[in-house]
Amino acid sequence: MILHGFFGPTLAPKNLATVLTWIHFRGALVLVLLCAGNFFCLACPFLLLRNAARKLFKPRFSWPRALRNKWISVGLFAGILFCYELFDLWSSPYWTAALALGYFAAVLIVDGLFKHAAFCKFVCPIGQFNFVASTLSPLEVKVRDSRVCEKCATKDCIKGRRAEAEKKSEFVILQRGCELALYLPRKVGNMDCTFCLDCVHACPHDNIGVVGRMPASELMADPLRSGVGYFSRRKDIAALVIVFAFGALVNAFGMVRPVYAVEAWLGRMISTTHEAPVLGIIFAAFLIFAPLVLLGSAARMSRALSGGRSSVGTVAVRYSYTLVPLGLGMWLAHYGFHFFTGILTVVPVTQAALASTGVPILGGPFWTWTGMPTRFVQPIELGFLLLGFMGSLMVAHQFAQEDCAENPLRSFAPWFVVCAIVGAASVWLMFQPMEMRAMLMGG
Amino acid sequence: MVSLLVVCASFELSGCARKSAPVRLVAMRCMVEGPERVGRNTITCKLTAEDKIARTDEALPVEGARVTLEGNMTHPGMSPAFGEAKETLPGSYTGTLDLNMRGDWVVTVHVSMQDGARLEQEIKVQNLQAS
Ligand code: SF4
Ligand code: SF4
């Protein structure tokens, strides 16, 4: 795929790098997260390379304490969304392949220097996307019987198993424990879990499995989570959720007609024909200004109405998690659209790629193979948005019940308004005429 | 309106030796007749050739070529459009292509000439809008 990106056709619809990355990978990722769990992290190609490299050299450092949070990955997540728009990554096989290559390099550098899964836990923006979305997944890696853990002496699920090496001071790792620092008996939900199943293999009592659960249940409670802490105290994870939810809106906004009018207007206002500052303003409006206003006002109001004593910031952080279902609904609607309408395009592109290497074993290429017609996909998109909206209302209502048991509607009402605004914005965006073009400043 | 000019040499190969005759410089000038709009667009293509052995500077029309048209959006995963251009005057080919969505398109004109030589040219159609 990377080779085709660099050396194949420059036209994005004919190149495996762009077709697989922007149509199939993204679409399948969100659908698998919705229907199963974080299986894309399990099958992550970047980790294959890292694991192979670790046979040759051992990382020496521990990830700096000050960086043991999500702030770097929040910045990278927003940065990738920004670059996607600025450089029209979807239309460039070369830059798509370069991005994938850059990712491999980043994994090798970070995990080559730092022990455990520092890249997955603290850096990888795709991983963070998966962690947030998988809070809604129906599967999780979990201890089967907590009584077995109480009697367990080895705790291999977190420590792993080692054997002494020839040099007495060193160890050989026989089986890794959880490199994401999730201690299974106290692990709650899917946050930070890459589904690597190291813990499953490590547990000597076969006491860990992939089990079913109610989607979003982990968002509705706020226990102490191993390796994560309390959601309600993690401003960095709340920021990640905000980028996840509002990023879904800005990512879709970049593909619909009104964005060009807004860009042209902003360009005139600040007298520039450069796209970067204009996009910067749009991103700041979506990822900083809108969340601050919406969540800030809702937190203030729900606090006043319910008579709660927590600070506005604390309320805002806690309730920010209600946006996860709405965010996933929007990502599903957007990526699902491209996935379903373009699902067959991989066939002719693969046929052509094979033919260009002199092995046309698949015949063709059948360029007319694309996917489902838009009119069939739109109801599915609407279904995803509705599902997200209902999920967010459920989470917000649960929080409101905990905050104000005698009259939960008082706490709930402002958050209902926030969900309704974000939900309405999503539906409006989905039904805007699409324009798949690069930004033309001044045009 | 977008127009492009491609000049290429067309050789004839025989056995393992390259014969020098005829060597032609083929010029290909294609355009989407403006104003481009969402829907059917007319694409014209003029093919002319100069015989460099005879050193005639006169450009002669390339007749009897097969000209096919293909439209792709710059975003992957979208439906492509296909069409064929017919020879309306000697060396002049015209066809239509249904560019059915707003946005950026790339129209590719594929030419197969009678001597087996092939040419291909891309025309960028940016910011296609509904009429
Ligand atoms: S999950 Fe397995 S290894 Fe971990 S504490 Fe429980 S029984 Fe022990
Ligand atoms: S070791 Fe277990 S808990 Fe830790 S990331 Fe892998 S699957 Fe999740």
Radius of gyration of chain B (CA): 16
Are B126 and B120 in contact by the 8 Å Cβ rule? The answer is no
pLDDT-based confidence at B55, cuts 50/70/90? Answer: low
What is residue A71's predicted lDDT score, i.e. its pLDDT? Answer: 97
Contacts of A368 in chain B (CB under 8 A): 79-80, 82
Mean pLDDT of B40-48: 93
Q: Is residue A202 part of a domain?
A: yes
What CATH number has the domain bearing residue B86?
2.60.40.10
Co-location of A208 and A222 in the same domain: no
What is residue A64's predicted lDDT score, i.e. its pLDDT? Answer: 95
Instruction: Give the tens place of pLDDT for each residue, A233-243.
Output: 999 999 999 99
As a whole-number percent, the residues of chain B with pLDDT over 90 amount to 44
Contacts of B78 in chain A (CB under 8 A): 13, 341-342, 370, 436
Co-location of A325 and A407 in the same domain: yes
Q: Tell me the whole-structure pTM to 2 decimals.
A: 0.88
Q: Is residue A79 part of a domain?
A: yes
Asked whether the bond before A185 is cis by omega within 30 degrees of 0, the reply is: no
From A189, A213, A237, give the residue that closes a domain.
Answer: A213
Question: What does the alpha-carbon distance between residue A200 and residue B21 come to, in Å, rounded to a whole number?
Answer: 73
pLDDT-based confidence at A167, cuts 50/70/90? Answer: low
Q: Is residue A45 part of a domain?
A: yes
Range of the domain at B43: 2-128
Co-location of A181 and A93 in the same domain: no
> Quick one: which atom of ligand 1 is closest to the CA of A156?
3
Q: What's the farthest any 2 CA atoms get from each other in chain B?
A: 54
Instruction: Give the tens place of pLDDT for each residue, A286-305.
Output: 999 999 999 999 999 999 98
CA distances from A48 to A21, A196, A218, A352 (A): 18, 11, 30, 28
Dihedral sign from CA coordinates of A274, A277, A281, A286: positive
Q: Is residue A441 part of a domain?
A: no
Q: Could you tell me which residues come within 8 angstroms of residue A25 by beta carbon, excluding any fewer than 6 positions away?
A: none
Range of the domain at A177: 139-213
Asked whether the bond before A9 is cis by omega within 30 degrees of 0, the reply is: no
Co-location of A358 and A254 in the same domain: yes
Query: A155 alpha carbon to ligand 1 midpoint, in Å?
Result: 5
Question: How many structural domains comprise chain B?
Answer: 1
Co-location of A228 and A126 in the same domain: yes
From A213, A237, A263, give the residue that closes a domain.
Answer: A213
Q: Is residue A438 part of a domain?
A: no
Helix (H, G, I), strand (E, B) or coil at B32: strand
H or E element that contains A327: helix A323-341
- pLDDT(B18) > 90: no
How close, in Å, is residue A179 to chain B by CA atoms? 37
Instruction: Give the tens place of pLDDT for each residue, A51-93.
Output: 888 877 788 899 999 999 999 999 999 999 999 999 989 889 9
DSSP state of A439: -
What is residue B1's predicted lDDT score, i.e. its pLDDT? Answer: 41
DSSP state of B58: S
Query: A182 alpha carbon to ligand 2 midpoint, in Å?
Result: 7
How many alpha carbons fall within 13 Å on the CB side of residue A220? 17
Which tokens is A176 given?
């890794």
What is residue B2's predicted lDDT score, i.e. its pLDDT? Answer: 42
Of all residues in chain B, the one with the smallest CA distance to A14 is B76
Q: Could you tell me which residues come within 8 angstroms of residue B15 by beta carbon, excluding any fewer than 6 positions away?
A: none
Question: How many structural domains comprise chain A?
Answer: 2
Instruction: Nearest by CB to B72, from A13, A22, A371: name it.
Output: A13
Co-location of A91 and A183 in the same domain: no
DSSP state of A363: -
- pLDDT(A429) > 70: yes
What is residue A48's predicted lDDT score, i.e. its pLDDT? Answer: 84
* CB-count exposure of residue B14 (10 Å: 0-12, 13-18, 19+): exposed
Residue A296 near ligand 1, beta carbon < 6 Å:
no
Instruction: Please report the ipTM that was assigned to this predicted complex.
Output: 0.74
Co-location of A368 and A224 in the same domain: yes
From A213, A245, A260, give the residue that closes a domain.
Answer: A213
Mean pLDDT of B32-56: 83
Q: Is residue A435 part of a domain?
A: no
